[in-house]
Each structure stands twice: as structure tokens, then as C-alpha cells.
């Protein structure tokens, strides 16, 4: 941070700068406290803005407009906007957790514990919250332009959109940083701002957080080639998920996903869940075949007696009230919350199995604790 800028912030605005949080292509971020002790994030452009640039006054007014949108539960609150000694300075609401400020840090945490990505049930909730924030911005004719994991901030288990308005201003500073982020922003010239640009970034973010790898690779030449040919790395996604992601990436307006972004996320949820139900059905068939030549007691672990929710005779009734990660035994049939029914042949077993939930986890579920046999 420029020494003169720091002097103004501490002397005139009485801000106590604590430590540098991060540094990006356009700005550096500092943790700070106001004179009243309120925590906040201070973002200062790394280079002074070119005052003659046509974007400066336009986007400065846009940032002032964003201050009026404060209070939305999916948008990080913008508190103040200043131009100090030519540098753009913004004051934002601060994410409370120093170790897990955004979804990128959360992904690193899961990968450090051996997980491929963020568990699906948690991830899809974050994606829906981000989509809600984007739809609100679009209803105000505001477009983010730089959706990526680092800009989805965590506030007490919920996601808020951060870095609003800064992507376009990046092109108005003397350092000439490009707008957006490679792999998360369409290539082929600067497209007209619109919902499709933010959906593009959200789809790329989904791939990164779901699979753990970058959506278009890591080498700049590979990223550019894959983006131009619309060939993202889709390993780890079901066919339904791949189709929806490609609709978000396509450069043809006639092939784009045109419904609401929250609907796109809901379709992702359905596509992934359908793929999981299909895999679960195949796994149960394999277990049933193996049961003919081995004791079922050695294949399954049960916990306690049959819960009330498992006493339902109707698969649909059971589906509404049980954990989707479990399979339940009722009389001579296996039931699952996906409304599937797995019938047990009496000739395949000598003794009845104890009733209770069969622990069956998939990559779409956070693993429940293993019950004692």
C-alpha cells in the first residue's frame, strides 16, 4: 500500500490497519477496524487509476450505487468508496473466519483431509445461495463479472458475493490488468455484460469446487485453447451435470441456458441426484448377488432397532421422512429414500436380518458415523 494512502486512511478516516489478508491482480486487501472497533476489509488498488479513462467516473458512480444495495443476505456490504491520491479504496464487510474466508479456502481444507472436493450437499447449497445473489444483482441491472471460488465469501456457513464492481475497474488502472479471471470469464474479446457472463463463472466455479481441479486446466495456453473450443475438463461429473455445464459455457446465444440461474442450480441438483440413485441401485444389486454365497451379517452393519421413520410400509412415505444416505429393511424388502424398492428373496438367506438402517454412503453424501456391529 502506498504510504500516502495509508496516512490518509489512518489520519483522516481513523482506520486501524491490522494486517494484509490477500493481494490480487487489481487490489490488495487489509483487515482493519474502524474508530468504533468495527471489523472491516479495506481494498486498495495496486496502481492509481487513470482519471482520464472513461470507465473511472462511470464505475465510481456504479460503486456508489452498490452502497445502496447493502443489507441483502447474499451480497457483501460495501460501506465506503474513496479515491485517495488516485488510488481506489473501498471498505467492505469482513468475513468472520480468518481460516475459512471463502470457498477456495474451504476446498483446500477438504482436500487436505483426503476429499476430492466440497461434499455435494453442502456445495449445492452454496451454489444456490450464490445464484440468489446474482439474480438480485441482475434484477438491479448490475453484473458481477468475476465469479470464482475466491469471490464467494463465507459468513457463518452462508455464501455472499464479494468484489462487486472491481472487475471492470481493473481495466482502468495504469497496470492494465485484464477484466475477469482466466478460466472463469469468457474469451474471444470482452462480451457484453449480462447474466450469461456470471453464469459462465458460476459453472466454472462449480467444476473447481466439485472435482478439485481447474475447469480448463492450469497452463495458460491450454486454458485459452479449451475455452475457445468449449472443451472443459469434466472428469468427475455425471452426464447430466456435464450437459448443464456445457450450456453455461457455450458461445452460441441460441444454445445458452436462458432460464434463471437458481433454476440452473436446481437442475444440477437433480442431475447429480439421479446419477447417484442409479449407482446406488447397481451397488445394491451387487450386494444381493454376493449375499447368496456369504452371510449377510458380514456385509452390513446395523444400528439399534428400526426407527419410527423406517416403519413406513410405503416407499414414498419413507422417502419423505428418512435420511437419503441410508437404506432401510422393512419385513422382506429394502426401502430407500429415493423411492426405490429392493426386494429380498427368501431363498437367498437362512435367517432374518436385524431391522435398522443400512449405512450406505456415496460421493454425494457426507459420510455418517459408522455404527457398531
Each residue's pLDDT, cut to its tens digit, for the chain (373 residues) gives: 888 898 999 988 889 999 999 887 778 999 999 989 999 999 998 888 877 777 777 778 888 888 888 889 999 999 999 888 888 899 999 998 888 899 999 999 999 999 999 999 999 999 999 999 999 999 988 888 889 999 999 999 999 999 876 545 444 444 444 456 888 988 865 556 678 999 999 999 999 999 999 999 999 999 999 999 999 999 999 999 999 999 999 888 778 888 899 999 999 999 888 866 655 444 445 444 554 444 333 333 333 344 444 444 454 454 444 555 555 454 445 544 444 444 443 333 333 444 444 443 333 333 334 444 4
Query: Is residue 249 domain-shared with residue 280, that is, in the same domain?
Result: no
Backbone Cα Rg of the chain = 25
pLDDT of residue 327: 53
Set of cell numbers at residue 352: 432374518
Count CB atoms within 10 A of the CB of residue 356.
19
Query: Is residue 300 domain-shared with residue 159, that is, in the same domain?
Result: no
Task: Write down which residue in 258, 293, 327 finishes a domain.
Answer: 258
Query: Is residue 318 domain-shared with residue 200, that is, in the same domain?
Result: no
pLDDT of residue 283: 47
Query: Is residue 67 domain-shared with residue 161, that is, in the same domain?
Result: yes
- Domain region containing 332: 270-359
- Does a structural domain hold residue 368? no
Query: Is residue 318 domain-shared with residue 175, that is, in the same domain?
Result: no
Helix extents (H) in the chain = 3-11, 54-67, 103-112, 120-139, 166-169, 195-211, 220-229, 239-249, 261-290, 315-321
Can you tell me the distance from the alpha carbon of 363 to that of 203, in angstroms, rounded to the nearest whole number?
19
Can you tell me the distance from the alpha carbon of 353 to that of 297, in angstroms, rounded to the nearest whole number?
7
Query: Is residue 290 domain-shared with residue 148, that is, in the same domain?
Result: no
Query: Is residue 187 domain-shared with residue 64, that is, in the same domain?
Result: yes
**Continuous segment of H or E residues that includes residue 41:** strand 39-45
Can you tell me the distance from the alpha carbon of 308 to that of 85, in angstroms, rounded to the nearest whole number?
68
Query: Is residue 187 domain-shared with residue 55, that is, in the same domain?
Result: yes
Residues 203, 208, 214: CA angle, nearest 5 degrees:
105
Amino acid at each position: 500500500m502506498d504510504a500516502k494512502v495509508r496516512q490518509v486512511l489512518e489520519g483522516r478516516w481513523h482506520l486501524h490497519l491490522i494486517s494484509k489478508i490477500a493481494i490480487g491482480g487489481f487490489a490488495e486487501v487489509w483487515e482493519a477496524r474502524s474508530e468504533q472497533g468495527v471489523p472491516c476489509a479495506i481494498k486498495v488498488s495496486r496502481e492509481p487509476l487513470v482519471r482520464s479513462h472513461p470507465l473511472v467516473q462511470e464505475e465510481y458512480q456504479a460503486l456508489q450505487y452498490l452502497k445502496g444495495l447493502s443489507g441483502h443476505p447474499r451480497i457483501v456490504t460495501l460501506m465506503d468508496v474513496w479515491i485517495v491520491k488516485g488510488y481506489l479504496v473501498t471498505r467492505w464487510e469482513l468475513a468472520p473466519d480468518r481460516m475459512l474466508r471463502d470457498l477456495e479456502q474451504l476446498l483446500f481444507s477438504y482436500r487436505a483431509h483426503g476429499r476430492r472436493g466440497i461434499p455435494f450437499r453442502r456445495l449445492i447449497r452454496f451454489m444456490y445461495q450464490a445464484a440468489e445473489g446474482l439474480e438480485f444483482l441482475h434484477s438491479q441491472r448490475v453484473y458481477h463479472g468475476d465469479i470464482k471460488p475466491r469471490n464467494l465469501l463465507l459468513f457463518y456457513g452462508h455464501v455472499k458475493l464479494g468484489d462487486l464492481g472491481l472487475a471492470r475497474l481493473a481495466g482502468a488502472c495504469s497496470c492494465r490488468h485484464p477484466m475477469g479471471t482466466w478460466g472463469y470469464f469468457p474469451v474471444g474479446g470482452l462480451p457484453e455484460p449480462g447474466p450469461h457472463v456470471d453464469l459462465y463463472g458460476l459453472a466454472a466455479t462449480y467444476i473447481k469446487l466439485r472435482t478439485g481441479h481447474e475447469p480448463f486446466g492450469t497452463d495458460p495456453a491450454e486454458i485459452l485453447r479449451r475455452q475457445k473450443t468449449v472443451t472443459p475438463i469434466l472428469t468427475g461429473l455425471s452426464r447430466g451435470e456435464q450437459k448443464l455445464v456445457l450450456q453455461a459455457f457455450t458461445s452460441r446465444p441460441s444454445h445458452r441456458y436462458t432460464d434463471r440461474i437458481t433454476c440452473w442450480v436446481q437442475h444440477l441438483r437433480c442431475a447429480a441426484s439421479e446419477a447417484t440413485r442409479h449407482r446406488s441401485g447397481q451397488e445394491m444389486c451387487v450386494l444381493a448377488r454376493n449375499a447368496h454365497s456369504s452371510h449377510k451379517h458380514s456385509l452390513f452393519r446395523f444400528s439399534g432397532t428400526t426407527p419410527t421413520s423406517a416403519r413406513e410400509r410405503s416407499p414414498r412415505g419413507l422417502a419423505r421422512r428418512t435420511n437419503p444416505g441410508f437404506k432401510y429393511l422393512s419385513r422382506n424388502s429394502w426401502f430407500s429414500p429415493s423411492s426405490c424398492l429392493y426386494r429380498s428373496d427368501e431363498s437367498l438367506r437362512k435367517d432374518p436380518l436385524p431391522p435398522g438402517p443400512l449405512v450406505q454412503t456415496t460421493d454425494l453424501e457426507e459420510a455418517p458415523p459408522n455404527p457398531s456391529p
